[in-house]
Structure 1
C-alpha cells in the first residue's frame, strides 16, 4: 500500500510513507495519483483531492470540513446531540445581535473565536467591557452558556475506536488545556461519556479527533473537537497514535487475500471506569 502524507510530523512511525509539501501539490500530482491513501491534507487541499482526483484521505473529509471552524462543528453537534451541547448562540456581529446577546446571557458567559485551538480564542466574559473588546475583534459572535468546572474530559478517537481518555484538571483556572497548564488525570473516566463520543463520531463520520467534554452534574456536554489534537497526554501514557492510524488505514483500505472473520472493535475502557 502506497501512503502519502502532507504532514510528516503527524505520521512519524508509519511505514512506507512519502511526503509532499502541501504547496507542491500540483507539481507532484502524478505522485499523488499513484498513492492509495493521502494522509493529513490541509483544509484548502481537500476538495481538489477528493472531488477532483477521487482519492481516499485520512482524516475523513467530514472530519476536516467540520473540524475547520467552531461554527460548523457546533451546528453539526446541535443537529444530532442537542441535549449535549451547552446553550449557544452563533450570530453575525451587528449592534442588534450584540444587544440580543446581552439580553439573553447573564455574566459570566463564554465567547469563542471561530478558528482557534489549544485554549486560545476562548474567553470568559464577565462584564460589558470584556464583551465589547471581544466583539470588536470578531465578525461573528459565538456565545455559549458558562458551566463552572475545574476539569474537562479529552477523548481521543482514531478510526472507529477510542485510543485514550483523560481529565484535564486546572484548579482555579477557566482553561483546562495541557498547553495552558492543565494537568492530566486518568481517574474515574465515565463510561457514559465514552459511549456518547463513539456514537457521535460514528454519526458524523469523524475518524481522527480529540473531543472535549465537561459535566454539569451527571450530564456530559460537548465543548468542541480538535482534528489535530495535542499528543502530550497521549505520549505520557505510552500510546502511539501513529500505529493506531496505520492499523485503521490497513483495515479500511487493504482487502485481505481470503475471507476472514472481522474482529469487533473494543472501545477504550480504563481500569477505573
Structure 2
C-alpha cells in the first residue's frame, strides 16, 4: 500500500491556494495519497474525528498548515509523523518564543519588549527607541504588524486590540525599510532565498504585494539556517531576516511558509523537495537506514 497523509488547512476546498495545491500536486507525482482536511469542515466527538461527516482513519503522516485551536492537535494523532512536528509547530507559531529560543552568531536580535498596550508609551520608547514596531504574537502575512511613530499611534493599539492582548514591541530597523530576506530551509540546509521589496510600506510581505527577486546565499546565511534548525528542530521553515548595516537582524521564522514567492524567484521545485523528503523518511524506515 502506498504512502498516505493529511494536509491540514482552513477548508477542504482550497481552490486557488498555491501552496497546499502544489503540495498535493507533488504528492500525486510521487504516488502519495495526500488529502486536504479543512479545520472548518471537521469536528471531534467521543467517537472520533469527522470531516464532512466522514470518520477519519489513521494515515502515515500529517502536514500542518493551520495555526489555531485544538482540532489540528487531535488530527495529528492520526499520523505516525507530522511535518512540521506538532510540538515544534505549536511552540514556534509564537514570535516571542522564537526570540527567546533562537540564537546565532550570524544574526543580530532587535531589542524588544513583551507586554500589552497598557504599558506606558515612554517606557517602551526608553527600551526599544522610536519609532518601533508592534507585532501580534501569532500573526502572519503582515497582519497585526504596525509602525508606531507617536503616542497617538500607540493609543490606537489599545483601541484595536484591547488591554488583554500581548504584543511584541520591537526596535525598528530602518536599514531594512520596505525590504527583507526570506530563506527557505529544509532541515537546516538552505534550499532557496529571495529578497522581498515593497512599494511604500515598511512591511515586505508577498501577501501585501511585495515583489521578489533571488537572494545570493552566503556562508553566513547557511550557518544561521543551521543554527535555527538546531535551536528549533523545525524541519521545513521560512526564515525572515532584516537588512542591517553589518549583519542581518532576525525577524521571525514561519513554520507554515508559503511557497509561491520562493518557487517563483528561485525557479526551484520546493514543494517537490518537501514531499520527496517525507517519502524518503518512510523509505529509510522500511530499509532500516
Q: Tell me the TM-score normalised to structure 2 length.
A: 0.76
Secondary structure of the 1:144 match is strand
Choose which of 118, 132, 149 in structure 1 pairs with 2:141: 118
Aligned to 1:87: 111
Aligned to 1:206: 234
Aligned length: 255
CA distance in 2, matches of 1:91, 1:118: 22
Q: Does the 8 A contact of 1:211 with 1:224 survive in 2?
A: yes
CA distance in 2, matches of 1:86, 1:250: 38
Q: How does 1:65-214 map to 2 (within 5 A)?
A: 65-77=90-102, 80-81=103-104, 84-95=108-119, 98-138=121-161, 139-148=165-174, 149-150=176-177, 151-170=179-198, 173-214=201-242
Aligned to 1:17: 33
Aligned to 1:240: 269
Aligned to 1:268: none
CA distance in 1, matches of 2:160, 2:277: 41
CA distance in 1, matches of 2:216, 2:62: 37
Secondary structure of the 1:72 match is helix
- Judged with a 3 Å threshold, the aligned counterparts in structure 2 of structure 1 residues 202 and 248 are, in CA distance, closer, same or farther, namely farther
Q: Tell me the TM-score normalised to structure 1 length.
A: 0.80
Q: Does the 8 A contact of 1:38 with 1:56 survive in 2?
A: yes
CA distance in 2, matches of 1:41, 1:118: 14
Q: Does the 8 A contact of 2:101 with 2:231 survive in 1?
A: no
Which ranges of structure 1 fall in alignment gaps of 5 or more residues?
Answer: 261-273
Deviation beyond 4 Å, 4+ runs, structure 1:
28-31, 256-260
- Judged with a 3 Å threshold, the aligned counterparts in structure 2 of structure 1 residues 21 and 118 are, in CA distance, closer, same or farther, namely closer
CA distance in 1, matches of 2:127, 2:216: 35
Q: Does the 8 A contact of 2:181 with 2:215 survive in 1?
A: no
After alignment, is 18-27 or 173-182 more displaced?
18-27
Shift of 1:202: 2.8
Shift of 1:48: 3.0
Shift of 1:186: 1.9
CA distance in 1, matches of 2:226, 2:189: 7
- Judged with a 3 Å threshold, the aligned counterparts in structure 2 of structure 1 residues 49 and 173 are, in CA distance, closer, same or farther, namely closer
Which ranges of structure 2 fall in alignment gaps of 5 or more residues?
Answer: none
Are positions 1:45 and 2:71 aligned together?
A: yes
